Structure 1
């Protein structure tokens, strides 16, 4: 199953594909991902306990405590997705 032209998130994706997949949940278009936007991304991925997991992801990724994951913190979110969500995200 593909998600808007991106490989199934349960399989494998590149960093660029991950960014494009995540961008579709930036509903206000501010270039940052809020907890609610992240929760929706996890929910759409078929995840369980999305409120709890999105909170954990935000706490681990949001190093400046702004309440959002911005471009400079995306690597932290990728690390969380790989470690805690079992996603396979590679540079290429």
Structure 2
């Protein structure tokens, strides 16, 4: 399965992950909402996207704003690795 040009077996850097995630920021506010994350998971081929997106936002959203901003994206990486099977490296 591919993520818009990025094969799933390939390891992504943190910057590549952020760029991939940015394409789902439909309102352009620099934050990822639950609905935007649900679409990202759906495009990745995931099931139960509403539940997974809700769980991911609760885990990653440290300031309880309901959005994942740049400072919280790193918190989302653990979810992406475990629940979505993505391979993401720190560099």
Q: Does the TM-score normalized on the shorter chain lie above 0.5? A: yes
**1:41-75 superposed Cα distances (whole Å, 9 cap, x missing partner):** 00001101100000000000001100000011011
User: Equivalent residues in 2 for 1:1-80 (5 A)?
Assistant: 1=2, 3=4, 5=5, 7-8=6-7, 10-11=8-9, 12-80=11-79
TM-score if structure 1 supplies the norm length? 0.89
Q: Which aligned runs of 4 or more in structure 1 are off by greater than 3 angstroms?
A: none
Q: Which has the higher strand share?
A: 2
Q: Give the drift of 1:82.
A: 1.2
TM-score if structure 2 supplies the norm length? 0.90
Q: CA RMSD for the aligned pairs?
A: 1.3
Any gaps of 5 or more consecutive residues in structure 2?
none
